[in-house]
Structure 1
Amino acid sequence: MTPQHPSRLPTVPQILLLALMIIGVIFMFVHVLGLAIQLALLVSWFLVMGLGKFLKLDYHSMQQGLTHGISQGMDAILVLVAVGALIGSWMAGGVVPNIIYLGLSVMSPHIFLLAAFFVCMVTSLATGTSFGTAGTAGIAMMGIGAGFDLPAPLVAGAVISGAYVGDKLSPLSDTTVMTASLCKVNIIDHIKSMLYVSIPAITIAGLMFLLVGLSYGQHGNVGRAQEVMHALSQHYVIAWYMLLPAAAVIALLVLRLPSVPVICFGALLGVVWACVFEQMSPVAAFSTLYQGNHVQSDLNFLNILLNRGGIASMLEVILLVMLALGLGGLMEVTGVLTTISNGLQRWAHSLGRLGLSTLFAGFLGNFLGGAAYVSLITASTITAKNYDELGVDRRVLSRNTEAGGTITTPMTPWTDGGVFMATTLGVSTAAYLPFLWYHMLVLLISALYCYTGWCCFQGSGSQAKAVESSQKNSTSSIVLDAD
């Protein structure tokens, strides 16, 4: 049942007051009182409900909006559970330690940042999942970076930048398919349009990671890398066949099989490897799926790196995502997003403002809704009408929607992507944010194109209907994989 909306919409001053109160609550709880952000979001629920009651909206409708908002992110929540299990068993089974060992033996500190960006980019393009990329190749890159004494936030920036290239471009990514569908653009045309932004962003970001890597490489501690390799060889079997679970998972994802069962299958392979090659008991190996890995090394930082994973490690993340999604559902049902949408539509009367409004609407969906799914909906629906009225092709709409929605997800601390990346890689959002160079370049280039008119195709309002049938044919054979 569709939740009832209030008979009158909130005004802009009321929304600004609500936003200030929510920001104030989050700041007070997290930075002043030292309380969990989950509590701040829970209190924010009641602030939005207070606005709803002021607008004469009944509680039943608000609860429906809340649960509807949470339901939009259930795919991501399932992936969080699966990836948590996979990290735990792959640590125990020696899969990730072997990837770290291999990386330390073949890479150098000078080119490592570029290599981490490239490896995660290729993995995400092949699999279509930023979560799966960060949970597998990403944590391995973090371990190699630590072995080279490189700053963890810088390595995380390279990992997340690479992971979101595929999340944004891969035809296997659910956000790519969802954006094309929402904007009624053929998925191949959508990807081609994004290449105008992504190719220069990838090139410049890669060059930046290379130059910074060359600078840090002068101080890279190869002796530390040898020490890490020795410690890994003391605790794990080092052999080529220890990489087979990772190869199997990537291959199955490339074959377009659903991500959740594939990741769960990979987690079970980790259990088997832990029993067969690491001599763990079946009970202990299975417990790593929930409790994570536990190993003792003489190197403290290696203990921190390897003692992680498990479904239990994701429970706080899942709660945070659910609370953020619920807040987004309440924002929608109380008419807050509708008022913002109407205001942006009146403001965006030029091409430059049109592109900026789409980017802002995507960020707003992440800020208020806590997930890329919400941001893609807000970015596409809020500004779509203006593209048709100004005669701008919807391929530009889909490109800007992906930039404002998908790209800003890991840049917001309480979104599913932001929380997942911070938890999985062990680096806070505030710490890795300055190094998300690919993300920043995508936003800057997208805005530049709109203000200059470069690569902004002309279209008409009828174009959406013309591509709708081909869009259905293009997406019908694609399996949606949660990021």
Structure 2
Amino acid sequence: MEERKKPSTAFALISFFAIVLVLIVMINIGVNTTMSVFAGVIVAVIITKILGIPWKEVEKSIISTAADCMPTFLIVIMVGMLVGIWMAGGTVPSLMYYGMMVISPKILVPLAFVLCALTSEFTGTSFGSVATMGLAMVGIASTTSIPIPLVVGAIVSGAWLGDKMSPLSDTTNLASGVSKVPLYDHIHSMQFTTLPAGLVALILFTIAGLHYSGGAMDMAQQKLIMETLSKNFNINLLLILPAILVILVSVFKLPSLLGMGLAVCVSVIFAMLFQGVNFVDLMNFAFNGFSIKTGVAIVDPMLNRGGVLSMAELLVTFMVASVMGAIITSTGILEVLAQNVLLKFIKNKSILVLVTLIYCYIVNFLTAGGQTVSIIVTEQTFESTFDDMNINRKVLSRTLEDAGTLSAPIVPWGVATIYVMGVLGCSNAYIPYAWFIFIVPIFSMVCAITGIGMWDKEGKPLRSK
């Protein structure tokens, strides 16, 4: 057996840029995202061979990462089922129908931001928020002159804001857990960066919505959509209850997986009662996705979606990305980059927060939006530095979420981005409009520089330096 080698700084830098270059080049020449990430896996495997890392060690890292990601895999599968059932059962059509009746285009964009934030806050899942409230808002937006990428940017911003602050969120619990910070101390710390950023984003979305709204909906198109929905579905306010149930289960603090499972069961009952869909067809819709031909070209794409199969590409990409992240972690190049490059620049708490943010972005972009890997690897790299500089770990846990969690849906080849594109039927043109995600790190640095929302290890406020 070859002796295992420790990567040098030069080797770590070359390896890092090689993987990034492969991802960027492959995607830009038109290669499928999953296969582009798989190419990154091959490069990562070559790096392990050069370093002489035992394959059993690499496999162990892959299995550990897969276990960490399994709850997310299951949630994605159930979200696909739920969307297919909600389409067939009339829940999403009813949300769209009543939304078009009461929502003004002047408030559509900020309302999409707020409603998706509330949905994620109560459910603990950004993916679920995008697939339910987000899908309904895109349907309503299609009757206005507002650019769809702007609406999707507001949806994504709200969904990830609520996910970040929810005590039910997997990333919220993960960041607090690995940092050894009590959950609600972690959430309290995040308020200093998340709430002001959310307010600024809300103002920007309100201004943008007013600018693009044109003051009115396309009434002819709105009427056509509403008539088509009422013709093909039994529209009823009671059909919104399954969507409300997703929020209520979080109030009773049911685990996300159990809550989503309950929502699926109740949605099946509602679909059978209100739409008369038989059980076998519903199960097929849950797996294959809902399909209908209304004869109206603009409506069919809104309704023909959902199902486990619609999540297949996402799940495969997620698995491949998880493998790539696990292999890269096992090489130790990220640790070398942090210790020998990034940590060299740390002179005070402001630089420490900045470097931690940057490192989260590096890991997330390198692992195709692997926010779980980003949070874990970054925490392990910087926890001792925060301790040595007498900075409370709830600042570290907050920073992990400010960049590690939030950057996931802005990685062009990332799992979260592919999910948003697939569920909402859009391109990644929404990324520049996800303003909240870009604003939060600014407030992270404001806190670090001013000392606001900064504490020492004893929990006492830190003065700015």
Whether TM-score is above 0.5 comes out as yes
Map of 1:412 onto structure 2: 411
Match for 1:146: what amino acid? S
Q: What residue number does 2:446 align with?
A: 448
SS state at 2:277 partner = coil
In structure 1, the partner of 2:432 is 434
Deviation of 1:97 (Å): 0.5
Structure 1 range deviating more: 291-300 or 99-108: 291-300
Q: CA deviation at 1:23?
A: 3.0
Partners of 1:299 and 1:289 in 2: CA distance: 23
Would the aligned equivalents of 1:94 and 1:242 in 2 still touch at CA under 8 Å? yes
Whether 2:265 is the aligned partner of 1:268: answer: yes
Q: Quick check: 2:123–2:246 contact (8 Å CA) kept in 1?
A: no
User: Which residue of the partner structure matches residue 171 of structure 2?
Assistant: 175
For the 8 Å contact 1:267–1:289, the answer to whether it is kept is: no
Aligned residue for 2:298, secondary structure, equals helix
Tell me by how many angstroms 1:181 deviates: 1.9
Q: In 2 relative to 1, CA 456–260 (structure 1 residues): closer, same or farther, beyond 3 Å?
A: closer
Q: Is the 8 A contact 2:122 2:250 kept in 1?
A: yes
Distance 2:232 2:3 in 1: 61
State yes or no: 1:364 paired with 2:376: no
Determine if the alignment matches structure 1 residue 139 to structure 2 residue 135. Answer: yes
Q: Does 1:246 align with 2:254?
A: no
Deviation for aligned residue 1:363: 1.6
Give a deviation string over 1:352-404, Cα, whole Å, max 9, x none. 22011111222223223342211111222222222222222222212211101
**What does residue range 394-405 of structure 1 map to in structure 2 within 5 Å?**
394-405=393-404
Distance 1:381 1:61, change over 3 A: closer
Counterpart-to-counterpart distance in 1, 2:396 and 2:17:
30
Map 1:49-88 → 2, pairs under 5 A: 49-88=45-84
Residue 349 of structure 1 and its aligned partner are, at CA, apart by: 2.4
5+ long unaligned stretches in structure 1: 465-483
**CA distance 1:413–1:278, change in 2 (3 Å):** same
Give the number of equivalent residue pairs.
Answer: 457
Misfit runs of 4+, over 4 Å:
none
1:195 aligns with 2:191: yes
Question: Is the CA contact 1:6–1:52 (under 8 Å) kept in the aligned structure 2?
Answer: no
Asked whether the equivalents of residues 351 and 453 of structure 1 are also in contact (C-alpha less than 8 Å), the reply is no
Q: Is the contact made by 1:76 and 1:416 (CA closer than 8 Å) also made in structure 2?
A: no
Provide the secondary structure at the position in 2 that maps to 1:111.
Answer: helix
Residue by residue over 1:27-64, the C-alpha shift from the partner in whole angstroms, topping out at 9 and shown as x without a partner, is: 343332x3312122222222111111111112222222
1:46 aligns with 2:24: no
Contact 2:287 2:307 in 1 (8 A): yes
Identity score, percent? 31
TM-score between the two structures when normalised by the length of structure 2: 0.93
Which range moved further: 214-223 or 150-159? Answer: 214-223
CA 1:35–1:275 in structure 2 vs 1: closer, same or farther (change >3 Å)?
A: same
- Say which is worse superposed, 362-371 or 40-49, in terms of deviation: 362-371
Letter in 2 for 1:440: F
Structure 2 counterpart of 1:131, one-letter code? F
Check whether the contact 2:117–2:163 (CA below 8 A) recurs between aligned residues.
no
Deviations 1:111-167 (A, max 9, x none): 111111111111112222211211211111111111224222111111111111121
User: Aligned-pair distance for 1:95?
Assistant: 0.3
Which amino acid is the alignment partner of residue 100 of structure 1? Answer: M
Structure 2: 5+ residue stretches without partners: 461-465
- What residue number does 2:21 align with? 24
Change (3 A) 1:402 1:6: farther
Selected match of 2:325 from 325, 328, 334: 328
DSSP-derived class of the 2:275 partner: coil
1:90 aligns with 2:86: yes
Shift of residue 448, structure 1, vs aligned partner:
2.9
Is 1:292 matched with 2:289?
Answer: yes
